[in-house]
Chain A
């Protein structure tokens, strides 16, 4: 424990997920052949020295300008991407690969088009619990379909559903395996504004029932404020870092109208807006400067 302050020790004892000094570097091409062909490129550091502690039953949102490595961070928590340096601990055990203790919701839903709604969820449950009885399996699938409000659509294929309904299936699939942590990568990014608002409120409702630890990536300030307990604001990439972590004090259950009445709402929103605006402007400036 040398080099760790007592405060950090306390925090990591209660936290479910610890991200410790995590850096991700994508190696560039620097081999002899690449140099010969003039194709060599430098290593690219996506995120640098990111640390955070996430307690159980917390809804954490990560927000930042595009290209800041949010998805990279989530990919490493999911175990889909190797960590360059640092470590991520789940209940004290380092994450070395993907596993069913983390459920993932994808931006493009990632439903298997050849499976019905029920079969998509069944695929997940069967993979994680191969020994479950047929009865138990059916009950679990039914419960999760009801949870996301998709009764009646069980035997439809994804292409017969709207985007919002597809993402409900994606959420049901992730929840059906009862993960310890739910990871959501811009889950509403591909939806129109109305469906998006509706689904955000659904997520709030579902979260109140299960109170799972959630890490969600988003671009939307309103979405973050409605759903999160904590908002992690990241700086622009390359070598993105955590700029600031905001605590969201609104009481639960929440809805859009009531949080807007809360005295802290406008300050938080203004703070996030100025952060995002500053970072995005710097990204744009850097892009123009490079050309």
Chain B
């Protein structure tokens, strides 16, 4: 059995505030940020970088303007960042939910049956390494609609981690749990829903977390070739040669990705029940 409450080694000396690890880390973070921003500001003013590189302060002003005016709509090429964000999130949500709805049950099936595992493995192994963007022309040709193509790309790229993690989790359910269900005479269905799926849940959620990360990576790239969304926003601002806006978009994409990942990190803790993941 794993030790459930592994306390960190306690030091006898009561540490002073300055020596605390978290304080040190925060100090390092702030110091490096200040150094980076001043290098940027000074460099841009002195013309060390390419022509047209904005200063840090100008970029921050631009950022502030975008986040305080998120929802305006002057046509597809002049859309508030809030709208673009919502459009991207909606595409991700639809494609991701569809992928999960397919991947989890299929993963359970594959995990439970060695025949299904061997039978489906070639598809998974072949399709998993394909870059999501390689599907783009095919999606456009089949669906003839940029919106649906975006969803399709998210679907096809976020299905694999969930599928693989789910089948791994299901295939590796502790044999003791299955023995318990067996000795009680539990039906197959009851065993699946009450034992196998809850036992594999930490693996399933890790798979969902990786899939969400991939979906968020892919949507930006895919949208550059579609219309609207954060990816298209970046592409559009590149065509306008508006570098500050590109930096603003990069920052917002990062923040949203961070939030999404953290939601799943919390979920992973909720389903762990003392099992170390």
User: Which size class do A's interface residues fall under?
Assistant: 20 to 34
A41→B271 CA distance, assembly (Å): 42
CB-CB contacts of B1-12 with A at 8 A, as 1s and 0s? 100100000000
Q: Given A123-B194, A159-B273, are A177 and B180 also a contact pair (CB < 8 Å)?
A: no
Q: Known contacts A79-B183, A80-B183, A99-B183; can you find 17 more A-B pairs with CB under 8 A?
A: A78-B183, A98-B185, A106-B176, A106-B179, A106-B180, A108-B1, A110-B174, A112-B180, A113-B274, A127-B184, A127-B185, A127-B190, A128-B184, A128-B185, A157-B273, A158-B274, A190-B1
Chain A residues engaging chain B, CB cutoff 8 angstroms: 78-80, 98-100, 102-104, 106, 108, 110, 112-115, 123-124, 127-128, 157-160, 163, 177, 190
Given known contacts A99-B185, A127-B184, is B275 in contact with A110 (CB within 8 Å)?
A: no
Asked if A159 and B274 make an inter-chain contact with CB atoms under 8 angstroms apart, the answer reads: yes
Binding site for A on B (CB under 8 A): 1, 4, 174, 176-177, 179-186, 190, 194-195, 198-199, 201, 271, 273-275
Residues of B close to A115: CB separation below 8 A? 198
Task: Return chain B residues, CB-CB under 8 Å to A163.
Answer: 1
B271 to chain A, nearest CB (A): 7
Partner of A103, one of B1, B177, B183, B271: B183
Which residue of B is nearest A166, CB measured?
A: B1
**A177 close to B1 (CB less than 8 A):** no
Q: In the complex, what residue of chain A is closest to B186 when comparing beta carbons? A: A127
Q: Given A158-B274, A159-B4, do A104 and B183 touch, yes or no (CB 8 Å)?
A: yes
State the CA gap A130–B39 with chains docked (Å): 71
Chain B positions within 8 Å of A177 at CB level: 184
**15 pairs from A and B in contact (CB 8 Å cutoff):** A80-B183, A99-B185, A100-B183, A100-B185, A104-B183, A112-B195, A114-B199, A114-B273, A124-B180, A127-B181, A127-B185, A158-B274, A159-B274, A159-B275, A160-B4
Contacts of A114 in B (CB 8 A): 198-199, 201, 271, 273
Which of B1, B179, B194, B273 is in CB contact (< 8 Å) with A104? B179
Which residues on the B side are within 8 Å of A79 (C-beta)?
A: 182-183
A98 touches B177 (CB 8 A): no
Chain A residues with CB below 8 A from B186, complex form: 127
B interface majority secondary structure: helix
- Residues of A near B181 (CB, < 8 A) are 127
Give the complex CA separation of A58 and B186 in angstroms: 28
Pick the contact of A110 from B180, B201, B274 — CB < 8 Å?
Answer: B180
Nearest Cβ on chain B to A196's Cβ, whole angstroms: 15
B172 → chain A closest CB, angstroms? 14
Interface SS, A side = loop
The CA of A159 and the CA of B2, in the complex, are separated in Å by 10
List, in ascending order, chain B residues with CB within 8 A of A127's CB: 181, 184-186, 190
Nearest chain A CB to B202 CB, angstrom units: 9
- Interchain residue pairs A-B with the least CB separation, the first 10: A159-B274, A110-B176, A113-B273, A127-B184, A104-B183, A98-B182, A98-B183, A114-B198, A127-B186, A159-B4
B203, chain A: closest CB distance, angstroms:
13
Nearest CB to that of A157 among chain B residues? Answer: B273
Residues A113 and B190 in contact, CB atoms below 8 Å apart: no
* A103 and B179 alpha carbons, distance in the complex (Å): 11
Shortest A248–chain B CB gap in Å is 27
CA distance A106 to B1 in the complex (A): 13
CB closest chain-B residue, reference A179: B183
Among A78, A104, A112, A190, contact of B198 (Cβ-Cβ < 8 Å): A112
State in angstroms the CA–CA spacing of A78 and B275 once bound together: 28
Q: How far is the CB of A128 from chain B (nearest CB, A)?
A: 6
Residues of B within 8 A of A123 (CB): 184, 194
Q: Which residue of A lies closest to B272 (CB)?
A: A113
CA distance A103 to B183 in the complex (A): 7
Task: Tell me the smallest distance from the CB of A245 to a CB of chain B, in Å.
Answer: 26
Contact in complex: B184, A160 (CB < 8 Å): no
Alpha-carbon separation in the docked complex, A46 to B186 (Å):
29
Q: Which of A104, A113, A158, A190 has the most CB of B within 10 A?
A: A113
Contact A157:B185 (CB < 8 A) given known A80-B179, A123-B194, A127-B190: no
Nearest CB of chain B from residue A125's CB, rounded to whole Å: 9
Tell whether A110 pairs with B179 under 8 Å between CB atoms, given A100-B184, A157-B274, A160-B274. yes
Q: How far is the CB of B204 from chain A (nearest CB, A)?
A: 12
In Å, the complex CA distance between A112 and B190 comes to 14
Q: Do B176 and A108 touch across chains, with their CB atoms under 8 A apart? A: yes
Q: How far is B277's CA from A159's CA once the two chains are assembled, in angstroms?
A: 14
Which residues from B are CB-within-8-Å of A110?
174, 176-177, 179-180
Q: Given the known A-B contacts A80-B179, A106-B180, A123-B194, are A113 and B185 also in contact in the complex, defined by CB atoms under 8 Å? A: no
Q: Which residues of chain B are near A103, meaning CB under 8 Å?
A: 183
Residue of B nearest to A106 (CB): B176
Docked-complex contact B184 and A112, CB < 8 angstroms? no
Q: Is the CB of A104 within 8 A of B271?
A: no
| A104 CB contacts on chain B under 8 angstroms | 179-180, 183
> How many Å lie between the Cα of A99 and that of B180 in the bound state?
10
Tell me if B1 and A124 are in contact (CB < 8 A).
no
CA distance A159 to B4 in the complex (A): 7
Of all chain B residues, the one with the shortest Cβ separation from A174 is B183
- The residue in chain A whose Cβ has the minimal distance to the Cβ of B187 is A127
